Structure 1
Amino acid sequence: MAPGALILAAVPPNIPSVSIENLQLTTDYELKSGTSMAAPHAAGIAAMLKGAHPDWSPSAIRSAMMTTANHLNSAQKPIREDHNFVASPLGIGSGHVDPNRALDPGLVYDATPQDYINLICSLNFTEEQFKTFARSSANYHNCSNASADLNYPSFIVFYSFSQEGNYPWLEQKFKRTLTNVGKSGATYRVKIENPRNSTISVSPQTLVFMNKNEKQSYTLTIRYRGDEKGGQDGSITWVEKNGNHSVRSPMVITSTVDVWASED
């Protein structure tokens, strides 16, 4: 999430912005709101990160922006949406982007082009659909490493909501790999915020990086029941031993049907 409300933006000076009776006024700047204001903020931060870290991939840049974002407001309270409910990651993503923290994220979730090919392979696309995303069908018949578990800085679990009240315990596993882009000799321990009526376990609970650019992997297991009308959210945060870095990933457990619709 990036700043997008009442942003002072440059506008074409030859287009009237205000009309007072027959008088049309022009200006060089206006206060603008919307996605068209937030998007250049995010793009500009990404460009800044690429300039500071030219060896980072697009996935590493995205990870740095996501894992260092603020999920709390300026009063250190949860960010709320328009109707004053606590905002879900489905509404605000990882939170409000923080460019200063993103410059030094400590750890990043990186991904290669092949990782995305493996993801596309897992979606059972036709060859033509595959080609739309992969630019070529060269790998279409060689999907031996198909995997929907992309090395992404967030987690989501879908379940089929049962109106009959049959709610068995379910379990889903994720594997993630973190790359140390900070100093060598860094130790991180996981902090878990469980979604309601769910249990998260992470193995191992401590990651030790002896060198810069070293990679360490972990497995996250979510045990849950599909008995909630709507989504529940939580997070995991890898906290550096000396407290310099916190690497947060949001998660959502939600139904695959529109359970908010009125029932007959």
Structure 2
Amino acid sequence: MTRYLGRYWQLYALLLLPLAYFIIFRYGPMYGIQIAFKDFNLFQGINGSEWIGLDAFKEVFGMRDFYKTLRNTLMLNFLDLLVSFPAPLILAIMLYELRSAWFRKLSQTILYIPHFISWVIIGGIVYQVFGTQSGMINNVITAFGFPEVPFLTDKNTWLITYLLVGVWQSAGWGTIIYLAALTGINKELFEAAEVDGATRMRRIWHITLPGIKPTIVTLLIINLGHMISIGFERPYIIGNTMVRDYSDVLSTFVYRIGLESGQYTLATVVGLFQAVVGLVFVLGANFVSRKLTDEGIL
């Protein structure tokens, strides 16, 4: 063992930085979980604060806003899963089927760009494009004599806008994993199917999709694990008071009670709740996947 470590010590040395990252930024903050069980005082610190047991959990679960934001979080994530999850898969297959190499590379570059744009900038673009009175689309609609469409002020049309913006921002970047999986499929299978007279759609259905099935299942399980958690920037920046019935989610709820109100104990309770339920979703999805498809991540 010592001889093996001495021979490949450079590889083990490369692990030091990622290990340090996970220890400091992933496992280290777990020490703060105990705030959920204490009457946390910023000046007394974690150790100096008084234990209160499950009182904070009872308070959070008694809040009406908590259940509203939980409902919105599950709804937005579920709809995102239906709309945004298939998008990178379809894009990856379309890019893989392109015969022109230069056009494929150009398309990939254009599709990747939105991922690197800050949500603050995306929010500005959304208001410039979809704004009710000054938005570019509504200016065109009213120019033809039609009434304005409340893309950002009506909760139902806002929901559609929210989902489409999410697809535009994430679909291109999500194709990377699928394209990597597609390159691992034996090309002789496609050639043999083409000789046998299989159409392109038949080749996709019987060769491409089964070939990347483990990747699809793995990503689906990971996405199901995020059903209870949601990013802060997208609903906060695109949302507004007129659509709060849909845009108010757990992350914005934590922001309000944690940073704005200074109720750090309650905010930690919500965060711990999200982590535990997310773990249950991952384990449950993995169990069902194992039973139905013999594929999983554990």
Task: Give the TM-score normalised by structure 1.
Answer: 0.21
Structure showing greater relative contact order (alpha-carbon pairs closer than 8 Å, 6 or more residues apart): 2
Structure label with greater radius of gyration: 2
Task: Give the TM-score normalised by structure 2.
Answer: 0.20
Higher strand share: 1
